[in-house]
Amino acid sequence: MDFAPARGGQRSAPRTPQGLLPLKILVAGGFGVGKTTFVGSLSEIPPLSTEQEMTELSVGIDDAAAVPDKTTTTVAMDFGRITVDEQLILYLFGAPGQNRFWFMWDELARGAVGAVVLVDVRRVDDSFAAIDYFEDRRLPFAVALNQFPETPDFPMSSVRDALAIQPDTPLIRMDARDPRSSLDTLVLLVEHAIARSAS
Amino acid sequence: MTENGHYGWRKGDRVVPAYALTQGRTRTVGQNLPLEALVTATELAVQNLPTLQVERRAIVRMSMRPTSVVEIGAALHVPAGVARVLVSDLANAGFLTVHLPQSTDAAGGPSQEILGRLLDGLRSR
């Protein structure tokens, strides 16, 4: 096939790295536990929000003209990006925590490296839904205890008991505002995912 | 709107409903494109840039470096489903190359080799 040379003054498409591969990690947890902060502390782009459709819509041409798009029910979801190397690009998705948004999780979880479940130890109940979800689907996950200034200093063993997580599930005390701490959490999760895929 | 070098559109900038951009289609095409699917602009797209409709031109410009469906949706302030359709159309026209995740099986995550590279990449940061 012949390709005409780019016309003068126009940029040509940059060489695309071979073997480009997107990866994703979910960030779950209850409302206000720090999902957006966690994504923001790691992302190389300002954390963005996307709108995901609530239902499978089949809008006809006429309908689309008659009905403004604001009637489409959508839910906002935070995401961030880490360019791992020339080929691997990792996306972090802040999964909506409320039960009624779980329809989104199945799509998000498909093909994911794993999930970070953020926990506020003062409100562990808020994380049970996410933990149950990932255990049911056998998606590797790590539990991250986001430390707030007023967080009481419970022993890790009692937190593990309260969360009722498996002995091999990684548990880390961290600060979602601190990029290094958030990165350590991702490393812990990926180590766990590798161990799981080897077994 | 795209001439100022970024794509930070405000919702009020759009004069047609988002779904009108896709002729009302939301799920008929592109339904298998995951949010994280990456796209890159082709040489053909660069040559045809001036002929493209404004949203499609913005997508091609963004895709001069690897960009995901979800980033495109956010930049254009359209729902992810609309971004999927726009990306699918451009890919079908030969303007974008789509780079899919390795595995989209129900339980299948990335291979151990890929996970190892991810770990190395994260540790070296």
Bridge pairing between strands A171-174 and A141-146: parallel
Question: What's residue B1's pLDDT?
Answer: 40
Question: What's residue A105's pLDDT?
Answer: 81
Residue A173 φ/ψ, nearest 5 degrees? -90, 125
How close B19 gets to chain A, by Cα (Å)? Answer: 6
* Tens-digit pLDDT profile for residues B73-91: 999 999 888 999 999 999 9
Mean pLDDT to the nearest integer, B92-116: 84
The ipTM, to two decimals, is 0.83
Q: What is d(CA A159, CA A167) in angstroms, rounded to the nearest whole number?
A: 12
Question: What's residue A57's pLDDT?
Answer: 37
Across the beta sheet with A141-146, the strand order is A48-53, A74-83, A88-94, A21-29, A114-119, A141-146, A171-174
Q: What is d(CA A170, CA B98) in angstroms, rounded to the nearest whole number?
A: 35
How close B55 gets to chain A, by Cα (Å)? Answer: 16
Residues 6+ apart with CB under 8 A from B40: A13, A14, A16, A20, B63, B64, B65, B66, B67, B96, B97, B99
> What Å distances lie between residue A55 and B41, B75, B81, CA to CA?
30, 22, 11
Question: What's residue A150's pLDDT?
Answer: 86
Q: Is the pLDDT of residue B114 over 80?
A: yes
* Tens-digit pLDDT profile for residues A85-139: 999 999 999 987 666 666 678 888 989 999 999 999 999 998 998 999 999 999 9
C-beta separation of A178 from A147 below 8 A: no
Higher pLDDT, A97 or A141: A141
Flag if A113 and B118 touch (Cβ within 8 Å).
yes
Question: What's residue A8's pLDDT?
Answer: 41
Would you call B51 an interface residue with chain A, using a CB distance cutoff of 8 Å? no
Question: What's residue A50's pLDDT?
Answer: 82
Question: What's residue A106's pLDDT?
Answer: 84
B-proximal residues of A, 33-92, CB under 8 Å = 45, 48-53, 56-65, 67-69, 72, 74, 79, 81-82, 84-85, 88-91
* H-run or E-run covering A78: strand A74-83
The model's pTM is 0.82
* Tens-digit pLDDT profile for residues A44-81: 998 888 877 654 333 444 444 444 443 445 678 899 99
Q: Is the pLDDT of residue A30 over 60?
A: yes
DSSP string covering A138-189: T--EEEEEEPPTT-----HHHHHHHHT--TTS-EEEE-TT-HHHHHHHHHHH
pLDDT category of residue A151 using cuts at 50, 70 and 90: confident
Q: Is the pLDDT of residue A183 over 90?
A: yes
Structure tokens at A101: 């948004």
Question: What's residue A54's pLDDT?
Answer: 53
Note the Cα A95 to chain centre separation in Å.
6
Considering CB atoms only, which of A59, A140, A186 is closest to B19? Answer: A59
- The length of chain A, given as a count of residues: 199
- The C-alpha angle with vertex B16 and arms to B12 and B20, in degrees rounded to 5, equals 135
Cβ-based contacts of A199 with chain B (< 8 Å):
none
Cβ-based contacts of B111 with chain A (< 8 Å):
197
Is the four-CA dihedral B103, B108, B110, B112 of positive or negative sign?
Answer: negative
Higher pLDDT, A78 or B28: A78
Q: Is the pLDDT of residue B40 over 60?
A: yes
User: Which residue reads 């604001």 in tokens?
Assistant: A70
Question: What's residue B2's pLDDT?
Answer: 40
In this prediction, what percent of chain B has a pLDDT beyond 90? 63
Question: What's residue A173's pLDDT?
Answer: 97
DSSP string covering A20-68: -EEEEEEEEESTTSSHHHHHHHH-SS--EEEEEESS-----HHHHHHS-
Q: Is the pLDDT of residue B105 over 70?
A: no
Q: What is the CA radius of gyration of chain B?
A: 16
DSSP string covering B15-73: SS-GGGGGTT-SSSSSTT--TT-EEEE-HHHHHTGGGS-HHHHHHHHHTTS-EEHHHHH
